[in-house]
Chains A and B, each alone.
Chain A
Amino acid sequence: MGTILEIQHVSKFFGGLAANSDVSFSLEEGMIMGLIGPNGAGKTTLFNCITGYYPPSRGDVIFKGQKINGLEPDRVCRLGMVRTWQKVRPLAKLSVVDNVMVGALCRTNSLKTARELAMEQLKVVRLDNKPNFLAGGLPIGERKKLEVARALATQPQLLLLDEVMGGLNPAESDEIIQLILDIKKRGGITQMVIEHDMKAIMRISDRIVVINSGEKLAEGTPQEIVNNPEVVRAYLGDFHA
């Protein structure tokens, strides 16, 4: 098991504000890494730095041994790293299967192959019953699944999920948890998950990184994280620690 992603001393400044400052950690192949932290801690900014939407102000992002900071998101995707969006971004006027095909076309030029790959991924997220629905008309739970299917269709080795359970009811969340665990079981895809639902993140993560005010606060197994007084203080304040 090698290291698939290394984040080395990454900082991102917006003017004088440090959205991320000196964050370092690495991901082993096949694991699920949980990324947690209070609102505004800089989790999504870190995702944006890793996937090429912002170049990091300082530090390096190393994917499969290759330095990728400064690469455009489309290049990063073709290298095998794909992300989903916290605020879902369906291609609203395209059908569900067409949405996923756009992802699949990253690896093939044939529409026929892309359609087969897309249907496969729709089966994985259990959306294969409505391939011809317009993506814009799906309820939020299914839009989140569509995001995942579309990302999977690009055949990534590293999948970054930005709050895929946000806004879902418990039953839908459970489905997504199962989906993430299934992806891990099938192998070949490492996952990094931003999530606010503590029960969910504790259940799925092999390791967890906690970010607070842009800095890495702690890293460890879920058990270590819940027992870390610093983490409890960040979430609940001094009184509870």
Chain B
Amino acid sequence: MEDRPCALLLKFPGTNCDAETSRALEAVGFVTEVLPVSALKPEKLVGVSLVVLSGGFSYGDYVMSGRIASLVTEQKIGATLKDFRDNGGYILGICNGFQILTQLDLLPAGSLVENASGRFQCQWVKMKNLAPKSPFLSRCPDEFELPIAHAEGRLVTKDAAEAGGYVKSGAAALVYTDDVNGSFERIAGLTDESGRVFGLMPHPERFMKARDHYDPDWNGGAEGRGSGYWLFQSLFEAIKEGEVSSE
């Protein structure tokens, strides 16, 4: 039997980062299945350690980003997904996946709305790691860069105090060092209370190798790895450790 942990990546019509995200997961050691959502059923989560919602424009994102995908997910596996988390499963949402997660009641309340610039923004950003103990970020440095590519990545909460609370509680696991898109408290990524659900707007799968950096002389890359690699590696190690301790 396969002893590598299994990741299940849900592919909605319009999901378009599935190939590189699956490649990134495989690179750190996961067995990955990319599953078109038409074939999604609760049983598909059996034996899976990690559910991934990758980047893209699910159903075109013409309504609100991630809205239809969250409804489809809720309808198909809503309760199962929460049980999966409660039973030790991990959930990662990247970009559009983060937008979907915020609407599935799996992360602290907040919405990802249009960037303050009113534009789609494809650029590299620097972030602070505020949750170095998070299973998603344990191997990441205190500050690192990743590329973003989104039009709706501005995290807003019902008021500024709520976002401030996320920073204090550690729910705001990743914050931009600069005001990139108008996010409250510059929040780039959120994690839930269990610590096993994580959503972020930047794309770790696009910075797996040091050479992916825009500056060929970027010197932050131990072993030729990019910062995104360490995010996936953190997750892989956390899941492997969990498996060992539960055996």
Does A pair with B?
no
Where the two chains meet, the residues of A that have a C-beta atom closer than 8 Å to any C-beta of B are none
